[in-house]
Structure 1
């Protein structure tokens, strides 16, 4: 408390805690009214854990000497804009050949009856052709489908750090891995500091501990972390749980079957740099 009082005037300090107390109290009152007047389902959406998380955030911001309401990225605004493209990587991608490279369609060759049975089984389980997904590299190249003008755009030369959060339930493993690699390969250096996989109670055994072991084997465990929910919480709750563990300055929520294209991140987060209240 000594350090906090030292850097924050007593008048501001008292006002801060008064407003903080009012804010948290209003949440508690709202929680009671919602629970009383609606049903138990809403109680799961606004829980005491969420209120505690907000209170801890206010306290931590205060102890760090920061004022809530100020743009944390204001020092970036006056910086020059640059071209963030990794042209060397793009050139190497253009030379790649193989199943599904450049985002091209892959036609399955005629196989045995067992192959066709497996293909049908995986399609029924996943709702897409997971059999083909397993035949395509998880680290594949994609076709640059952007408008020509988009390729000329420049963005602020310093970007905040980013945590990408992938909630999933029984997603096919190769699809998740391809999503991870696309984010890592096509984001500016040192921007992606964390990828969080929120396993929302998946019943596929391969998505539990064996998946953690595979992340280690692939050398991804230093940046990819998996959270395992004991039961299925739903998409919004899974996102909240991922956000609670995030360390990045900006959070990006994506479906676990997403592939990023070239230079996808700078135009997404630059508006947040200029106005931190922006939700893209």
Structure 2
């Protein structure tokens, strides 16, 4: 009996001790932060976006925009600057990398076309989405271009979700970006809605964005470039995935705005979805989404996963962004920050989604119209190159060797002190790059293998009839190129005549990632330069070693030229026409035989 009582009392004591331990552990566990509490409340609340076929969504405009085609640029139509202003236009292009003269004639509140999938109009989004600070960094931007960006955000965003627009002036020296800008903001926008911050010295895009995020007050920070126009109902689709999971970055689909005419047009056609990736020389690329992502979604308009993003436009929970350390403060100006943030998000437990129902137009400049200034002297080596070195050394583990194999000189560059970034990775308990490649970017090696197959042809491309060479002349995206005297025939001339018919079956300048692109099957259709996408289509070419034709399968036409005007264009293939015969300096006949 005594033994039983002893055991019973001992059992009671053990139970009491257990209760006290559980209470103590619960009491001393770290409490949720403010943002975590808000997130938990939203998550409990929480309907996801709901698709209602043929029923207009809850944030869709009830009335479509009225387009007055008499006004310059309305409806996203091109505006052609009067010939009498051609000198002003030329000066503007040199100063800004775009035609700001045309922009000055176009309303800051202009209408633009709705480029979304039809499905996008039928989504209802939660009404308790997080508030947003839109951060726009600018340096010597055209005032009308910058203000059109701001007007479009305010005009097309539900006011209950738009906390503020934060403009960060990265030490501009143009007079109209000083007092005139401040006056414009005061007169045209509600008090406090647009805030202007000014750097006291040049910091570059990356650091200025981090500063803007630190100073903003919205739940979400949404970065835009200074030359954008947002589309209809663009904001709720970006916020809804973040509301569901605050460790999510969302990226809009980007449309193009012509730098000369400000025509608004889609970059992607036919409802195809692409996602961000990279090749091992650290060039950003895009490829079609894999079958796994297509099957995962019920609707074609739903967000989908992407390994990387282009860098300019995205939304992310503000406190989560800061918890990740924002951008690496050792990255200067721009370059590599998109990879650094992408790898960091995925490897440290987050995710990136592209959002088809959010469209944002972006002006692609012909060239970068400003220098890095004093920032260039703070770095031992080219700024962008050293940025890449910092990224690969911190995040890519043994996979960095693929970059060093292609760019041997990177190995010997000084990336600066990486101690803090490596400690951040360890503190956040981030996964390996091997995990990233196997679980997230699993489709990358099929498009951009670590060991690349040989190219089909390379060197100068000489026209048999004229004896002239194709010269891309360092032209930019959406620009045409022409013939020029071959550099090997004329010493002292400059140009860009080393071309490659790559193993991707596209044609590009040897040291750049812009490709010959044909979007029309018309006779005399122009050949443009466009960012290489590796998806064939408009950029697919085949060289015939017998006829010497550069054949474009998608249009079934051949590359042709005018020997007098030096123009390059497409024509119906004819083996008797000597202007269609092209002689590559070097040809890999074995590879071409197996094309």
Q: TM-score, normalised by structure 2?
A: 0.35
Aligned to 2:59: 84
8 Å Cα contact 1:168/1:200 also seen in 2:
yes
SS at match of 2:118: coil
Shift of 1:218: 1.6
Gaps of 5+ in 2: 1-22, 51-56, 251-595
Shift of 1:178: 0.4
Segments of 4+ moved more than 3 angstroms: 9-17, 66-72, 79-82, 93-97
Distance 1:146 1:204, change over 3 A: same
The match for 1:73 among 42, 56, 65 is 42
Aligned to 1:279: 249
Deviates more, 1:159-168 or 1:116-125: 116-125
Shift of 1:16: 3.8
Aligned pair count reads: 222
**Is 1:151 aligned to residue 121 of structure 2?**
yes
Aligned to 2:230: 260
8 Å Cα contact 1:186/1:263 also seen in 2:
yes
Shift of 1:78: 2.7
Aligned to 2:558: none
Over aligned residue pairs, what C-alpha RMSD do you find? 2.6
Shift of 1:141: 0.6
8 Å Cα contact 2:93/2:99 also seen in 1:
yes
Distance (Å, rounded) in 1 between the aligned partners of 2:130 and 2:45: 9
The match for 1:234 among 204, 215, 229 is 204
Aligned to 2:96: 126
Task: Tell me which protein shows more helix as a share of its residues.
Answer: 1
Distance (Å, rounded) in 1 between the aligned partners of 2:136 and 2:70: 28
Shift of 1:117: 2.2
Distance (Å, rounded) in 1 between the aligned partners of 2:120 and 2:49: 18
Where do 1:178-217 residues align within 5 Å?
A: 178-217=148-187
8 Å Cα contact 2:39/2:243 also seen in 1:
no
8 Å Cα contact 1:102/1:141 also seen in 2:
yes
8 Å Cα contact 1:79/1:158 also seen in 2:
no
- Greater relative contact order (Cα 8 A, min sep 6): structure 1 or 2? 1
When Rg is computed on C-alpha atoms for both structures, the one with the higher figure is 2
Distance (Å, rounded) in 2 between the aligned partners of 1:98 and 1:117: 23
